[in-house]
């Protein structure tokens, strides 16, 4: 078996060169970090579940006409994606106050927002992903005004699609983060959805009980993170065959 060249390692994923030019293999780790990696741990089976959940959500989103980097799932922990130039801006959509918003705005957790609010954060571990405005994005050339418009309109459509989808399985979509990339094809460049969408990058609360079914269980040492991720997959009807037993998956893949 040939060794694949690693092109990037992030906190939760590794990217390898793909089988064809213009593709990458995205490998999902069980490693979990919070607060810019000040807190580190492992959520057993997370990589397998996030691979499935992200596949499922990206597929539903693509069906609604939003271009994504997802090509196909390869195995338990890997998916084939299109290679993009990541726009260094995290786009967050919030429906209900939670997380950093509650502290910054003094709004209690769980407060319904008058409308969905879109925020931008600059992707920089060094600076701790600061909140930024469109002015910063254009002034520093991280994205142009057209790309900002595309990111905002796609993020809001993703919010509509996912809010409905999760409502149908008894989960309230509180907020989420998405990332976009530039996909170059010949002379053309297109803004497409990239990265992942999973309980690492969303807040999900049970509609009946308000139980947290996402990474806040790890961030806040609440326990039950593994079970929460499995529960999201189970409700979406995509728990890996064999259930949690299968979730360790292949450990070494280089
Ligand atoms: P926040 O309330 O901490 O700003 O998070 C907003 C949303 O973004 C939440 O759904 C979690 C997600 N998120 C990430 O995906 N990566 C991050 O580094 C952070 C801080 C939040």
In the chain, CATH 3.30.470.20 sits at 85-206
Residue 253: band (very low, low, confident or very high) from pLDDT cuts 50, 70, 90: very low
- Cβ–ligand 1 distance for 212 under 6 Å, the answer no
pLDDT digits (tens, 9 = 90+) for 54-113: 999 999 999 999 999 999 999 999 999 999 999 999 999 999 999 999 999 999 999 999
Mean pLDDT of 22-43: 97
In the chain, CATH 3.30.200.20 sits at 3-84+223-243
Q: Which atom of ligand 1 is closest in space to residue 215's alpha carbon?
A: 11
Query: Which among 43, 78, 27 is positioned nearest to 200, based on CA atoms?
Result: 43
Residue whose CA lies nearest to ligand 1 atom number 20: 35
CATH superfamily ID and name for 3-84+223-243? Phosphorylase Kinase; domain 1 (3.30.200.20)
pLDDT digits (tens, 9 = 90+) for 98-130: 999 999 999 999 999 999 999 999 999 999 999
pLDDT digits (tens, 9 = 90+) for 145-189: 999 999 999 999 999 999 999 999 999 999 999 999 999 999 999
- Residue 251 pLDDT greater than 50, yes or no: no
pLDDT digits (tens, 9 = 90+) for 196-207: 999 999 999 999
Pocket probe mutation, ligand 1, options 10, 201, 204, 205, max atoms within 8 Å of Cβ: 201
Query: Is the domain 85-206 a CATH 3.50.50.60 member?
Result: no
Q: Which atom of ligand 1 is closest in space to residue 175's alpha carbon?
A: 10
């Amino acid at each position: 078996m040939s060794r694949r060249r690693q092109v990037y390692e992030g906190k939760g994923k590794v990217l390898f060169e793909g089988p064809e030019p213009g593709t990458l293999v995205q490998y999902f780790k069980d490693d979990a970090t919070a607060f810019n990696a000040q807190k580190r741990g492992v959520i057993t089976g997370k990589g397998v579940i996030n691979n499935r959940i992200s596949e499922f959500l990206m597929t539903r989103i693509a069906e609604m006409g939003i271009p994504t980097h997802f090509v196909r799932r390869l195995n338990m922990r890997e998916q084939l994606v299109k290679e993009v130039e990541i726009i260094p801006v995290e786009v967050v959509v919030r429906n209900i106050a939670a997380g950093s918003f509650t502290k910054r705005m003094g709004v209690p957790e769980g407060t319904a927002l008058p409308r969905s609010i879109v925020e931008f954060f600059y992707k920089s571990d060094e600076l701790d992903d600061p909140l930024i405005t469109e002015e910063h994005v254009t002034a520093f050339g991280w994205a142009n005004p057209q790309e900002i418009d595309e990111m905002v309109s796609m993020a809001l459509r993703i919010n509509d699609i996912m809010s409905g989808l999760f409502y149908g399985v008894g989960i309230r979509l509180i907020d989420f983060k998405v990332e976009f990339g530039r996909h170059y094809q010949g002379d053309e460049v297109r803004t497409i959805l990239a990265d992942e969408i999973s309980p690492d990058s969303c807040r999900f609360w049970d509609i009946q009980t308000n139980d947290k079914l996402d990474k806040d269980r790890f961030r806040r040492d609440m326990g039950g993170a593994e079970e929460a991720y499995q529960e999201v997959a189970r409700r979406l009807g995509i728990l890996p065959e064999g259930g949690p037993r299968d979730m360790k998956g292949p450990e070494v893949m280089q």
